[in-house]
Chain A
Amino acid sequence: MPQIPEHLANLEAWESSRRRFVKSVLLAGVALQIPIFTSCSNITFKGNVKVSDEQASILNLVLNKLWPDDGNGPSIKDLNTQNYILNLLLQEEKHKYHNKFIVEGIDWANETSKENLKADILNLSSDELDKLMEIMIEDEYGSKWCSVLITYTYESLILDPEYGAQPNEVGWTWLGHTPGSPRPDSSNNYDALFKMVNDEV
């Protein structure tokens, strides 16, 4: 059984303040330049963690259960959520326990499927998948893992498209949200300011 990272024990605090969790985002600017997940490739992290095609497919499956394409607002695909998350993971060499938690959670979800429903998660029927989701949500680890994925889905819903999610402002449009002004650009986005904070410019 994988462990819940200590800082995620208090999920509420993490949700409201999480830079230590994903300092990664040297990311954003760089992230957008990285060729990302394709259906026939493995994604290799700079650490020792890899996301296989199968793991990526499981992640996509779970994201679509957490945030279904039900006609109410943008879907995971519309928001580019999966690529957004994979990009964050790719950039996260300084905080390995972050990608570790997400990737371990993928494996845990599959193991939970096999244990409870006697089948790989990718082979479950729609009803079985619904049942698995309920099992995961009732589990402390599974609930935190799903909660983290929802938070990242939120980011893909409302962060500036500068960061590679919600193309054409589909998230803001759905919510009727007016963003603050001015919006970030390459001169003051996370990548630019992260370099300033670390005195790299």
Chain B
Amino acid sequence: MMKYDVCVVGSGAGAGPVIYELSKAGFNVVVLEKGPWFNTEHFSKDEMVATRRDLYKSDLEGEFHVVESKNDAGEWEAKTTQASGKSYWNGNCVGGSSNFMSAYFHRLKPNDFKLASTYPDTYEGSNTVDWPISYDDLEPYYAKVETEIGVSGKVVPHKALEPRSTEDFPYPPLGTNVFGEWVKEAAKEENVQTFPAPRGIISSPKGKRKACYHSNYCGSFGCSSDAKGSSRAALLDQAIETGNCKIIPHAKVFHLDCGDGEEIQRAKYYDSSGEKNIVEARLFVVACQAVETSRLLLMSKSDKFPNGLANNSGNVGKNLLFAGGGAGSGIFDLNKLDEDKRKKFDIPLTFVNQATQDFYEIDDEEFGPVTKGGTIDFLIEHSAPMPKLIRQKRDENGKLLYGSALKSKIHDSFRNKKRVRFEVFNDWIPNDDSFIKLSEEHVDKWGDPVGHIRIGYLDEMIRVGKYIAKKATRILFHTGARDLQFTISGAPPRNLMAGGCRFGTDPKTSVLDANCQAHEVNNLYVTDASFMPTGGSVPYTFTIYANSFRVADKIIERLNSEA
């Protein structure tokens, strides 16, 4: 049997850079991906596939999670995602969920790497710790992502702008709806500065990838031009071209086998017919999204690791992170706009790309001591019509509408109204009640224990989120939007997950070292968002990519030295 240099489990944003860099460096890489291998031609703008039947996600019929959260009485209550219908899967295919991201690419700030020491009062009593690396360690890799994955935007000075080694993004800003200008002007009314939001979407061609053509359906949909910087389009296709990379789709890894030793000897996986197979390699890199990465390690028990691989410290699965914050919206009555404004606004172009980080740190006496805040991104509702239809189903009292009243409301909402939105991102504070473990009751279609997720959050996260959402709402008001509302809660965005295998310098309190190599297992690396002890107040994908490029360099250095 062939023994590969490196076996990578997963193929999304955490895996792509490692696969790409190691293949280019001449190492033999095998990738085990649970899902199918779609190519660009398979991605159309089809709501049936993407959202109505959720075909890009694992089928809850055979693969699900147990999710535990507090009920109204404050008691923990567990429910399977089969029962709730709320899937925690995000992209079951080669390239993973990076195929379907909206690609808001904000960098972390220097303080995000040292939250515990910067804001000791805020995070007292939580599990917040500083990162074992600094912003300066990651900065070159952010710059690399901007080039290799492709980030479009324009750098403008603002109070939270992070230090940069390059002057600007390599791709100019994408075209935007006029609403972006309205947001910019409205923010000034509140003495808030916005800036063009960087996107992991290229605005001019790069190799075989075409520029964004504004397909009208973006987030949740695969990209038909490969402008979106998915792991598949930006990295894996080139890795394959080296001749050093083999991707095996429909390969569900269920055990990383150490035998009776302390290093992994082989990965065991099920193929599409349920048959068991093995792959042998020198090094193993796990990157199958935070929940499933911890689950795989916990499932990989052996004599040396009776509590799961790399888990003699008991830290695997702990300090799971989602993203704090929430969203808000307002409505424009198109009939109240003058003809010119309406014409410019009501076009099928939904990119707004205006953000503010004026509240990334909250310095407001009324709020309390200076503390960590977050990011606001402004948007127009997605063009895909079903979510808009669903929102029309009920009257103001929650009663189901039907008949002519329903049709009339729908017609009015599509013809005369446009919904604008904002999203708030603030830190999900790590705590003892946010973790993943193996279910003791439920198994998946292969008979393996499913992941049991407990979702606990701290009230401070909600307090910060609401503060920022109120600021965003005021800005929306000045744009002219009405019927303003927002929701900030502890319900996690299921597409933003991190932690579970946090990195650190102390093997007693962390799973990985500063290079994302397992403290306890010499030939194991974890390169998805699992490594993050804290997540920052931005979406995670940019940082996942950057860190994976960083770790790829460490692995190459090691393999070269061992050769």
Q: Which residue numbers of A lie inside 8 Å of B, CB to CB?
A: 6-7, 9-10, 13-23, 25, 28, 65-68, 70, 72-73, 94-95, 133, 137, 143, 146-147, 150-151, 154-155, 157-160, 162-163, 174-185, 187-190, 192-194, 196-199
B2 interfacial contact with A, CB 8 Å? no
Measured CB to CB, the closest approach of chain A to B177, in angstroms, equals 14
Given the known A-B contacts A25-B53, A189-B49, are A178 and B61 also in contact in the complex, defined by CB atoms under 8 Å?
Answer: no
Q: Which residue numbers of B lie inside 8 Å of A, CB to CB?
A: 35-38, 41-49, 51-55, 57, 59-61, 82-87, 92, 213, 215-217, 221, 224, 250, 272-273, 348, 383-387, 389-390, 393, 399-400, 402-404, 406-408, 410-411, 414-415
Known: A17-B87, A19-B57. 7 other contacts (CB 8 A): A13-B84, A19-B59, A23-B53, A182-B224, A187-B42, A188-B43, A190-B48
Give Cα distance in the complex from A163 to B303, angstroms.
Answer: 54
Residue of B nearest to A133 (CB): B402
Q: Are A175 and B415 in contact (CB under 8 A)?
A: yes
The answer, among B42, B46, B61, for a CB contact under 8 Å with A196, is: B42
Measured CB to CB, the closest approach of chain B to A185, in angstroms, equals 7
Measured CB to CB, the closest approach of chain A to B513, in angstroms, equals 37
Closest A-B pairs by Cβ, 5 of them: A180-B45, A180-B217, A199-B272, A13-B85, A19-B54
Give Cα distance in the complex from A72 to B83, angstroms.
Answer: 37
Given the known A-B contacts A176-B415, A180-B216, are A190 and B55 also in contact in the complex, defined by CB atoms under 8 Å?
Answer: yes
Q: Inside 8 A of A160's CB, which chain B residues have their CB?
A: 46-48
Give Cα distance in the complex from A72 to B412, angstroms.
Answer: 11
Residue of B nearest to A19 (CB): B54
Residue of A nearest to B62 (CB): A20
Q: Inside 8 A of A23's CB, which chain B residues have their CB?
A: 53, 59, 61
Q: Are B402 and A137 in contact (CB under 8 A)?
A: yes
Q: Inside 8 A of A6's CB, which chain B residues have their CB?
A: 82-83
Q: Inside 8 A of A174's CB, which chain B residues have their CB?
A: 411
Q: Inside 8 A of B49's CB, which chain A residues have their CB?
A: 184, 188-190, 193
Measured CB to CB, the closest approach of chain A to B297, in angstroms, equals 26
Q: Inside 8 A of B52's CB, which chain A residues have their CB?
A: 18-19, 155, 159
Q: What are 27 sample pairs from A and B whose C-beta atoms fall under 8 A apart?
A: A6-B82, A15-B390, A16-B51, A16-B387, A17-B51, A18-B53, A18-B85, A19-B52, A19-B57, A70-B403, A94-B61, A133-B403, A151-B390, A157-B389, A160-B47, A175-B410, A176-B415, A177-B383, A177-B385, A177-B414, A178-B216, A180-B217, A180-B221, A182-B215, A184-B44, A190-B46, A197-B92
